[in-house]
Amino acid sequence: MDPLLISAASGMNARMEALDILANNIANTNTAGYKADREFNTLFQSNLPLVQRQWTDYSQGNLVSSGNPLNLGLAGPGFIALNTPTSVVYTRNGAFQISKSNQLQTVEGYTLRNTRDQGKPILVDPQQAIDIDKEGVVHQGGAELGKIEIVTIDDAQTTLKKQGTSYYALASTAATPKPVTVTDVLQGTLEQSNVPASEQPVHLVSIMRQFEMLQRAMVVGTTMDKLAIQEVAKVT
């Protein structure tokens, strides 16, 4: 196949991948704790774009007061550790609730891990006010009920993989989460998505223009091949 057509087709496929990444980011602009996916670009010799590898931007989103004592925002690096039915996952989405069994959990039923009880769920009394200090220690009625497990994970780009919109699992058993030491837990606060909403329309226009450019390259390449065949086929 013509090298121009190959390059243009590869570039169009890359722009479709970039559009999928962008669409997912836009859909999660208002998802608490969501971390935007980005793309690495490289260029062919013919200056056609290629998505080489996507990566996740783990930078902190804005912290916004919610007034809900079961909302927790992290001011600093790290993730809140959660128990699922099969494993441990990590999140920056601090929207929690009290389950029917009086455990602190996510909407999906993932429970917060208690570092003072071997990672077991934290039990609370739904009839009493809950106070959570900056270190993640849960207080109720003057008593300590446990401490929320908050960890940092080295080289998150390679050791974490996304599960859904705001959860992460370890991609390698060699990865070892470490207790956080410089992060404050802010009760009544939610971390917003770190997707820069104002940039997304500009990026969308850029992707569409690149796609149109590649389409034109395909048309030009096809036309040139057709003319070449016609010239060769002429009887002199």
Between CA 113 and CA 121, with CA 117 as vertex, the angle to 5 degrees is 35
In the chain, which residue ranges form alpha helices assigned H by DSSP? 3-27, 156-159, 200-233
Nearest alpha-carbon partner for 30 in 208, 181, 166, 221: 166
Q: According to the model, what pLDDT value does residue 43 have?
A: 52
What CA–CA distances, in Å, run from 82 to 114, 193, 215?
Answer: 9, 19, 46
Q: According to the model, what pLDDT value does residue 9 have?
A: 76
Q: According to the model, what pLDDT value does residue 54 have?
A: 80
Residue 191 token pair: 């971390």
Buried/exposed 177-212: b ≥16 CB within 10 Å, e otherwise: beebeebbbbbebbbbbbbeeeebeebeeebeebbe
C-alpha–C-alpha distance, residues 61 and 68, integer Å:
18
Between CA 114 and CA 116, with CA 89 as vertex, the angle to 5 degrees is 10
Residue 220 token pair: 């030009």
For residue 114, the tally of other CB atoms under 10 A from its CB is 22
Q: According to the model, what pLDDT value does residue 50 have?
A: 57
For residue 112, the tally of other CB atoms under 10 A from its CB is 26
| Residue 183 CA neighbour count, 13 Å, CB half | 23
CA dihedral 72, 58, 88, 171 (to 10 degrees): 180
Q: According to the model, what pLDDT value does residue 100 have?
A: 96
What CA–CA distances, in Å, run from 117 to 19, 83, 149?
Answer: 45, 13, 10
Q: According to the model, what pLDDT value does residue 1 have?
A: 54
Residue spans of the domains in the chain: they are: 3-58+195-229, 63-191
Q: According to the model, what pLDDT value does residue 226 have?
A: 74
C-alpha–C-alpha distance, residues 199 and 180, integer Å:
32
Nearest alpha-carbon partner for 60 in 80, 33, 81, 25: 33
**pLDDT average per 10 residues of sequence, the chain (236 residues):** 70 81 91 89 53 82 96 97 96 97 97 97 96 97 96 91 94 87 96 88 78 77 72 63
